[in-house]
Amino acid sequence: MSKISLRMFAIALCVLMGASACYAGSTGAVPSALLDETQPAAPTKETAVLAGGCFWGVQAVFQHVKGVISATSGYAGGSVKNPDYETVSSGRTGHAESVEIVYDPSQVTYGKLLWIFFSVVHDPTELNRQGPDEGTQYRSAIFYTNDVQKHVAEAYIAQLEQAHVFKHKIVTQVAELKGFYPAEAYHQNYAALHPTDTYIMFNDAPKVANLKKGFPEMYTGK
């Protein structure tokens, strides 16, 4: 069976099981991070880079989070400069499909972004895959930009593990951001521009709906 056929089969399986079954993994509500960055009083800008499967859904969720200024799909964590979708999809560049999130920490902190990341964006216990997508380019990863982000991410993962929030071990990689490369234009805002796409309907739209339901005070319909 070809890679495309396998992908379509997996999507069909998600449809039959229900989208939530494809991303189930937690044993209950995911708690917020106990350790977080200092929240400034005045508006400012910080950047977070997260990978949690296909970047379409990750971008779609964070575009609806209050305090997020922009969310850009792209590639991080690899060894090749200026990668493109085709080479990243081969799995040979080491990149993960990622999203660069520019946010205002006076409105939403790094810890809260990670709270959403672990709650509704993806299943952090799936190794080198997410839902119907498989390969190292779909791995779960947090690419920190400074020591504060590194400490917050590592402490939060330890907190979730100690609380046995998930049925299986968290496999999320925590690594220093060495570079972020925006993806091709046709990947940007894909979920918003293609709401009736089968993949979006059954894999990504439910994530945005879960954000609205689980984090109503942090959700924005913009």
Helix, strand and coil percent figures for the chain, each rounded to 5? 40, 20, 40
Could you give the CA distance from residue 132 to residue 122 in angstroms, rounded to a whole number? 12
**DSSP-derived secondary structure for 151-202:** HHHHHHHHHHHHTT-BSS----EEEE---EEEPPGGGTTHHHH-TT-HHIII
* Tokens matching residue 77: 């964590």
Catalytic position from the list 54, 65, 101, 205:
54
How far are the Cα atoms of 33, 49, 69 from residue 43, in angstroms, in the given order? Answer: 22, 20, 11
Give 209's contacts (C-beta < 8 A, 6+ positions apart): none
Residues 46 and 180: beta-carbon distance below 8 Å: no
* Tokens matching residue 185: 């234009």
Could you give the CA distance from residue 211 to residue 213 in angstroms, rounded to a whole number? 5
Name the DSSP class of 187.
G
| Catalytic status, residue 54 | yes
Taking the chain, what is the end-to-end CA distance rounded to the nearest angstrom? 41
Which residues form the catalytic set? Answer: 54
